[in-house]
Structure 1
Amino acid sequence: MRNTVQRFRSRSEHTLDPKGRLNIPARFRDVLRERYSENLIVTNWKNCLRAYPVPEWEALEEKLLNEGKTQANMGKFVRYVIAGVTECPLDKQGRILLPPTLRADLGIDKDVVLVGMLEHFEIWDKAAWDEEARHTRETFEEFNNGLSALGIF
């Protein structure tokens, strides 16, 4: 049997506990243990939170520092994303604590969906995810050119 590269794949639904703790699925914890560490950097994004293993986050920061200054309006983006950065280590039960400020900014209350994005994962409010998935299904043809250019379509 061929070993697959450990990446964040799939999606799962979870319920935050009253303190705002999120149980990270075992398959995501396995990726962290095998490729990284059990520390995550979580920050706000457009419609969701993004959770990065520390090395992946540091690579993103380096891109912003070295290449971001050449892109228009990146200062606003950097201010928004960096302001939300929170270090979230996994506890002994495999949970992270999502700060109330990050949850409030995106309307994340109780029911969430975790979505694997290969080198990081997203944390969505369930209703926002349902709307995003619906919209993506309805506009799927928009991906044809990109998929074709990658040789996937």
Structure 2
Amino acid sequence: MLTGNYAINMDAKGRMAIPTRAREELVELCGGRLVVTAHTQDPCVLIYPEPRWQEVLPGIQALPSMNSAARRVQRLLIGHACPMEMDGNGRILVPPTLRSRANLDKKLMLAGVGDKLELWDEDTWTTLMQGTSDDEIPEQLETLDF
């Protein structure tokens, strides 16, 4: 399970180092093999351990091709998907198209959300975490006891 959040930096070439704790988890989960792709709604990048991506991919591919929203999801997730492997220093290269889509610059936040990681611009992440949501609370959330 990928958890926690980390303030990290990206260099001018788009490389970022996965923090040690998360790196160790990823090595154990997938040998450092990852798939990096776009989020369908939020301005962030999703980083999947390769085995988890292989589980998710058939569901994305099975979406109805005659539905425009489904095609958009397929184009975002599959069209932006980049398989990669962490280098010996635990670094990955975030592709320019994904950096641009998520407005990623030097200062980033990497957040573990269970089965994947989310990579955010630090300012966007801070604003999101401080803000309130006008979204309707799902029934499943109302029944949780923290």
Report TM bin, short chain: 0.7 to 0.9
Measure, in 1, the Cα distance between the counterparts of 2:126 and 2:74: 27
Q: Is the 8 A contact 2:46 2:117 kept in 1?
A: yes
Hey, what does 1:79 align to over in structure 2?
75
In the TM superposition, residue 129 of structure 1 has moved relative to its aligned partner by 0.8
Query: What TM-score comes out, normalization by structure 1 length?
Result: 0.83
In the TM superposition, residue 142 of structure 1 has moved relative to its aligned partner by 5.1
RMSD (Å) for aligned C-alpha atoms: 2.2
Hey, what does 1:8 align to over in structure 2?
2
Hey, what does 1:111 align to over in structure 2?
107
Hey, what does 2:145 align to over in structure 1?
152
Amino acid across the alignment from 1:11: N
Measure, in 2, the Cα distance between the counterparts of 1:94 and 1:35: 14
Q: Is the 8 A contact 1:88 1:98 kept in 2?
A: no
Q: Is the 8 A contact 1:43 1:50 kept in 2?
A: yes
Hey, what does 1:102 align to over in structure 2?
98
In the TM superposition, residue 28 of structure 1 has moved relative to its aligned partner by 1.1
Query: What TM-score comes out, normalization by structure 2 length?
Result: 0.87
Does 2:129 align with 1:133?
yes
Cα offsets for 1:25-72 (capped at 9, x unmatched): 111111112222211100111310000011111111111223x22894
Q: Which blocks of at least 5 consecutive residues in structure 2 are unaligned? A: none
From the two aligned structures, give the one with the greater helix fraction: 1
Amino acid across the alignment from 1:23: A
Measure, in 1, the Cα distance between the counterparts of 2:127 and 2:98: 20
Matches within 5 A, 1:16-95: 16-45=10-39, 46=41, 47-66=43-62, 68-69=63-64, 72=67, 73-95=69-91
Count, aligned residues: 143
Question: Could you tell me the percent identity over the aligned residues?
Answer: 29
Q: Is the 8 A contact 1:14 1:113 kept in 2?
A: yes
Measure, in 2, the Cα distance between the counterparts of 1:71 and 1:62: 17
Tell me which structure has the larger Cα radius of gyration: 1
SS at match of 2:130: helix
Task: Name segments (4+ residues, structure 1) moved above 6 Å.
Answer: none
Q: Which blocks of at least 5 consecutive residues in structure 1 are unaligned? A: 1-6
In the TM superposition, residue 16 of structure 1 has moved relative to its aligned partner by 0.5
